[in-house]
Amino acid sequence: MINHYLDIAPEVMDALNEGRPVVALESTIISHGMPYPQNAETALRVEQQVRAGGAVPATIAILGGRLKAGLSPRDIDYLGEKGAKVAKASRRDLPALLARGMDGATTVASTMIISRLAGIAVFATGGIGGVHRGGAQTMDVSADLTELARTNVAVVCAGAKSILDLELTLEYLETYGVPVLGFQTDEFPAFYSRHSGLSVDFRVEAASEIAEMMQAKWSLGLDGGLIVANPIPEAYAMPADDIKAAISRALAEAEAKGVKGKALTPFLLAKIEGLTEGRSLQANIQLVLSNAALAARLAVAFAGLQVKRVF
């Protein structure tokens, strides 16, 4: 029944049917992460990065009440131009958006759901959501974390967004059995920064090693995703003190204005961009491109394992 709602782009469908590597990409970064036209241009650059790594990109979204696995350049431009007028769609929003024939820009959680429905095992994003600061009292925990606990997709990211409580986020992931793998690092990256002072569960050196872990996990029936934490490239990392100061000011303004819920993260990211004179936006773009490149290598490695299993 669910396939009634799902459209897979022909290029993506051909790749999946032939066992070739595919990488899922989210659309919240297009409609809610950057200004137009930079958002659409960045999305196309990310797709090209995936292609350069030998995989087929499948940008995920909801258009006219249809789940889309793979968008055209025109679709991407449409989402970019409409911007925040497009609903930010997480797990809870999917039934209403589909039933009402609406558009939606998918978060990490909903991108994972649609990826799994389409049969895509690897997903590249910027940073995952997590436990917000003060979450122990407010219970403000991103649906990304619960999706990671149940949906079989490997998520390549630059850690969790540094506006969050990273320590509590990692505690939550540990409780629900989500492996946190550090790509060539022992330390959990903090989105704009390579360093958080917090450890990953396992350091991995190569995409092939991650692919083996994916296969082992799911072959055992251990449902849920894996986090592949890929630090932002050194050349684009922001000084920890600068980003901490910007986050503190942004959080204070959000509290003063009563910004909460799904509006909080876009508000904070936009405010931080202004406070850092655009440096945070450039860092965001570069880390997404880096994650897309690694995700392509991972998708190639994982597809190779599936071929070996068949023969």
Q: Residue 1 has what pLDDT? A: 38
Point out which residues pair with 164 in neighbouring strands.
132
pLDDT of 310 > 80? The answer is: no
Q: What is the domain range of residue 32?
A: 2-310
CATH number at residue 75: 3.40.1790.10
For the chain, the average pLDDT equals: 93
The one catalytic residue in 47, 68, 88, 161 is 161
Tell me the mean pLDDT in the region 218-240: 95
Tell me the mean pLDDT in the region 2-22: 94
The answer to whether the Cα torsion of 77, 48, 158, 194 is positive or negative is negative
The one catalytic residue in 26, 47, 147, 273 is 26
Q: Report pTM.
A: 0.93
Q: What percent of the chain has pLDDT over 70?
A: 97
Q: What percent of the chain has pLDDT over 90?
A: 76
- Residue that wins the pLDDT comparison between 73 and 264: 73
3-state secondary structure 222-266: CCCCEEEECCCCHHHCCCHHHHHHHHHHHHHHHHHHCCCHHHHHH
Give 122-162 pLDDT, tens digit per residue: 999 999 999 988 777 777 899 999 999 999 999 999 999 88
Q: Residue 289 has what pLDDT? A: 98
Number of folded domains in the chain? 1
Tell me the mean pLDDT in the region 88-116: 98
Active-site residue, 161 included: yes
Q: Residue 134 has what pLDDT? A: 79
Give 76-88 pLDDT, tens digit per residue: 999 999 999 999 9
Confidence grade of residue 307 (pLDDT, cut at 50, 70, 90): low
Question: Residues 41, 232, 126, CA angle at the centre, nearest 5°?
Answer: 50
Tell me the mean pLDDT in the region 101-130: 97
Give 273-306 pLDDT, tens digit per residue: 888 877 888 999 999 999 999 999 999 999 999 8
Active-site residue, 26 included: yes
Q: Residue 28 has what pLDDT? A: 95
> What phi and psi values does residue 184 have, to the nearest 5 degrees?
55, 35
pLDDT of 97 > 60? The answer is: yes
Report yes or no: 130 and 168 within 8 Å, Cβ to Cβ: yes
> Nearest CA to 41 among 84, 80, 72?
80
Confidence grade of residue 309 (pLDDT, cut at 50, 70, 90): low
Long-range contacts of 261-264 (CB under 8 A, 24+ apart): 261/140, 262/88, 262/90, 264/132, 264/140
**Could you tell me how many residues make up the chain?**
311
